[in-house]
Amino acid sequence: MFETSRKFDYRKWLPHGLVIGFFAIAFAIGMHPDAVIKNLPFSIAEKILDREVPEQLKIVFPSATSFSKKVAQPIPHYVAYSGTPESQTVTGFAFWTTELQPQERGYDGPIKMLVGLDLDGKLTGVLVTEQHEPYGYFSVGLPSFPRQFKGKDIRDPFKVGADVAAVSRASISVNSASRAIRNSARIAARAFLPKGEAVK
């Protein structure tokens, strides 16, 4: 008897084929790999760019000596540790705003940021890793924007024009990014910190 041939499931391989084809075209016309990645659909680009996470975690949580792999529960996060590998102590957590606040969007889509939170409910750092805002180059894309959040308490208002610097012509971007940082940090606090339960 002849073995029945299996039907090829094109739906399973189509996304892979599209990505390979996109890279092949980009290579042929001389695009830089990073430019190619950033032009992919956001969810695909996000996964590829996560390869840089260890260095990014160190930026938002400079006092930590090591970090866990991404943990899915109770919310997606990384654990920050201090001490030696033989004697580690949890010192805080890090998380992506786009995972905890996926509906928050700027003028031209989500603003991807990595945020560090210590055990006292204070932000240890913020890093903007991806944004496509029309005025992002002089607002959320500047190093001074995330720098102003370091040391802020999750109970602070995060109000643009008050405790967050306002930027003319970029109010949508700045307001969206500030809300994403505040709301995702408060979600993380409620998940991990005893005092975070009081945060609304």
Does 60 map to a domain?
A: yes
pLDDT of residue 194: 86
User: Are 121 and 34 part of one and the same domain?
Assistant: no
Are 112 and 167 in the same domain? yes
Q: 8 to each of 3, 5, 154, how far by Cα in Å?
A: 15, 9, 52
Let me know whether 166 and 123 are in one domain: yes
Is the same domain home to 152 and 186? yes
Q: Is residue 130 included in any domain, yes or no?
A: yes
Residue 24 shares a structural domain with residue 121: no
**81 shares a domain with 21:** no
How many domains in the chain? 2
- Does some domain include residue 5? no
Residues of the chain with pLDDT under 70: 1-19, 21-51, 195-200
The SS3 of residue 157 is: coil
Residue from 64, 71, 70 nearest 85 by CA:
64
- Sheet of strand 112-118, all strands in order from the earlier edge strand to the far edge: 66-67, 78-84, 87-96, 112-118, 123-130
Is 45 a member of any domain?
Answer: no
Residues 55 and 33 both lie in one domain: no
- Count of other CB atoms within 10 angstroms of residue 55: 9
Alpha carbon distance 155, 150 (integer Å):
14
99 and 163 housed in the same domain? yes
Domain with 67 in it: 51-198
pLDDT tens digits for range 180-189: 999 999 999 9
Tell me the sheet residues that pair with 83. 88
Beta bridge partners of 125: 116
Summarize pLDDT for 149-173 with one digit per residue, the tens.
999 999 999 999 999 999 999 999 9
80 and 35 in a single domain? The answer is: no
d(CA 129, CA 113): 6
Pair 159, 119 in one domain: yes
Q: Which of 120, 118, 71, 133 is nearest to 96 (CA)?
A: 71
Share of the chain above pLDDT 90, in %: 69
**pLDDT computed for residue 98 by the predictor:** 97
Residues 32 and 82 in one domain: no
pLDDT for 86: 87
